[in-house]
Amino acid sequence: MKNHRYYREQLFFLSLVLSLFFFVGCNKEEAKTTEPAVNNDNTADWQTYRNEEYGFEFKYPKEWEVTVNDADTVLIRYRESGLHGKIVFRENVVTENMTTEEALKFEDGRSALSLVSDKIIEINGLTAYRALRHEEKGSLMYPNSDNADVLDITLTAVEYTYLNSNDLIRFWIQIDGDDYEQSIKIVDAVANTFSQ
């Protein structure tokens, strides 16, 4: 009798553990398949910019204006949100003595905005550098120079630099105004569509 009770308890415990593993395993699989679909839907109606000379492309919201000027600089603007920027090409920057991080941060810090965060990341198999810079309205711009000026608007900049052999492709966007959080998310989504 005690033997049967022991086996029933063991069988109950084993059933409970297996049910728990099955339930947790199904929920994890659901989470993995649901998240990318949301990201794809957000960019489904976006336009694609292709640059044949440097061999890259990225997607961007249809409300944005993307043009190329006479100096082959890609200009980006979304007037309704105070968003503007450019893509700059730096050719033959990388030397054989440079590490990947040194190359990606080449000329980093030329912005007057304070660095909030930066990191080396991978996007679609490419190594990239992301920097977030920010100055609040009322901050002193260029405080150590004769041209020091008090900002009359909040400025935020998001920069992505991609390494392409010996060249750098720098994607830089500035957001003017206090409503910058949503724009940062959109800029990050655009930068994550970059591919070669």
If asked whether residues 101 and 66 sit together in one domain, one would say yes
Q: How confident is the model at residue 131 (pLDDT cuts 50, 70, 90)?
A: very high
If asked whether residues 85 and 128 sit together in one domain, one would say yes
If asked whether residues 96 and 13 sit together in one domain, one would say no
Q: How confident is the model at residue 165 (pLDDT cuts 50, 70, 90)?
A: confident
Would 196 be classed as within a structural domain?
A: no
Residue 30 sits in which domain range?
1-44
Please tell me the predicted confidence (pLDDT) of residue 93: 81
CATH of the domain at 116: 3.40.1000.10
Of 38 and 142, the one with more pLDDT: 142
Of 87 and 152, the one with more pLDDT: 87
If asked whether residues 36 and 80 sit together in one domain, one would say no
What is the average pLDDT across 149-153? Answer: 76
What's the CA angle centered on 21, arms 18 and 22, to 5 degrees?
Answer: 85
Q: Is the pTM of this model over 0.85?
A: no
If asked whether residues 159 and 172 sit together in one domain, one would say yes
Distance CA 168, CA 106 (A): 9
Strand pairing class (126-135; 140-141) = unpaired
- Nearest-Å Rg of the Cα atoms of the chain is 25
List pLDDT tens digits, range 38-87: 345 578 899 999 998 888 999 999 999 999 998 888 999 998 888 999 99
If asked whether residues 58 and 140 sit together in one domain, one would say yes
The string over 9-44, giving b where at least 16 C-beta atoms fall within 10 Å of a residue's C-beta and e elsewhere, is: eeeeeeeeeeeeeeeeeeeeeeeeeeeeeeeeeebe
If asked whether residues 9 and 29 sit together in one domain, one would say yes
